[in-house]
Structure 1
Amino acid sequence: MKQTKISITVILLFGLGLFFFGTDGFQAFTTETARTHKLIEQQPTFPNVELEDSKKRTYSFDEFKGKYVFITFIYTACTDVCPQLELNMYEVYEQIPETYKGEDIVFLSISFDPKNDTPEVLERYREFFHSDGETWRMARINDKKALQQLLDSFGVIVIPDENGHFQHNSAFYMVDREGTLINVLDFTEIDEAAETVNDLLQTNRSTIKKGGKTS
């Protein structure tokens, strides 16, 4: 009996140890949280892809150099998570002081369905979510290879089905002034995301006033 208890204890401790290391010290309890944690650690750089926005303007991601970029990945035919994702993005956008918008930060919704999300479609989508098309832009990446490179580097999983829809993960992605991913935020936690962004922007402004370097 005593030997049985010892064996059970050893097995439990062994399993707990595997779980600890497999979840990076209990910090990642699901595949998605593990992916998010890894992204924040790796801090990939946003590839300098060419974007085409709802105003039919084309430019590289360098357009936003020197500014933070708050990003979502969407497709406009989505009927479940994407509308909620963009509504929540709007709520975050509304909590950012006007003085920061366009100067310190730009909001950017990127479609991963460029075939269907033409500039005209993105323009209608933009208007529905009260995006101004400037400080909050909606765009697509026409180059399939460049688009996939971006999705892969930012851990965005996009799986097409037979009906023209996609299964995909969703989050808020925060890119710094040099194009480096510095945070992945839960899109359901609106106030927390807005607070994180505002704290970052305030710190950035304070650092600039003191003549220091910002990230």
Structure 2
Amino acid sequence: MSETGKQHSAGFWQKNNMFLFAAVLVIALAGVLLYKLVWADEPIPVMKKLDNFTLQNMNGETFQFADTAGKVRLVSFIFTNCPDICPATTLLMAQLQEDLKKEGLFGKDVVFVTIAFDPERDTPEALQKYAQAFGADTSGWYFVRGEQDEIKQVTNMFGVYVQKNDKGLYDHSAYTFLVDGENNLRKLHGMASSLDLEQLTKDIKQLVNE
């Protein structure tokens, strides 16, 4: 083949390679767009902005909700003498704790905050026993309490109903609350048998990856 023919051949293949590269790039971009339109998860909307609050941890020290900022928070409300829904929920959260640990998320990207609302019986010592009974890893799971006026301020902010009944127990809202790293309340999940761990895990990961 002449030198001119070789040059024409090289130019032909160079142009075709460029077209091929461009076509592959277009297909890849189209695939990404299609994924986002069809398969990607819908953004979890912001329900409301939460204020910081101060309570007491199970060591009797000050706990500030702001200290957990930057991490996804799963917030639950319980009382340690609860005979049913609270321990059932805490047991599921303990399972979720282990699942998140396996993926390296617990403590680093996700923390749990369990707020006890019976100031008379939910003492620091009672919270310590409760946490230990469920195998809670307190490096990333905070059990906190407060006096009645402090707790009322927090329950009002989250929209949690709490009322002591004639049996000395509490009737209360059956929700857990998913809060993002910027103190935005993003989603309500159930408690006990109404708590879907699969969906909750999916939502947590989505917020972590935002």
**What is the TM-score with the length of structure 2 in the denominator?**
0.71
Whichever residue aligns with residue 195 of structure 1, its letter is K
Match of 2:206 in 1: 199
| 2:196 counterpart residue number | 189
Larger radius of gyration: 2
Whether the aligned pair in 2 keeps the contact of 1:44 and 1:154 (CA below 8 Å) is: no
Give a deviation string over 1:31-69, Cα, whole Å, max 9, x none: xxxxxxxxx977233332212111222132111111111
Superposed CA offset, 1:162-189 (max 9, x none): 2321011222211111212111113321
SS of aligned partner of 2:152: helix
Unpaired runs of 5+ residues, structure 2, are: 1-43
State which of 107, 111, 123 in structure 2 corresponds to 1:118: 123
AA aligned to 1:114 is P
Give the whole-Å Cα distance in 2 for the aligned partners of 1:159 and 1:79.
16
**Displacement of 1:152:** 1.8
CA-based RMSD of the aligned residues comes to 1.9
Counterpart check, 1:139 vs 2:140? no
Q: 2:111 aligns with which of 106, 109, 130?
A: 106
What is the identity, as a one-letter code, of the residue corresponding to 2:75? Answer: I
Unmatched runs of 5 consecutive residues or more in structure 1: 1-39, 205-215
Structure 1 Cα separation of the partners of residues 154 and 177 of structure 2: 12
Tell me the secondary structure at the aligned position of residue 67 of structure 2.
helix
Superposition pairs of residues 167-178 of structure 1, within 5 angstroms = 167-178=171-182
- 1:62-141 alignment, distance < 5 Å: 62-98=66-102, 99-141=104-146
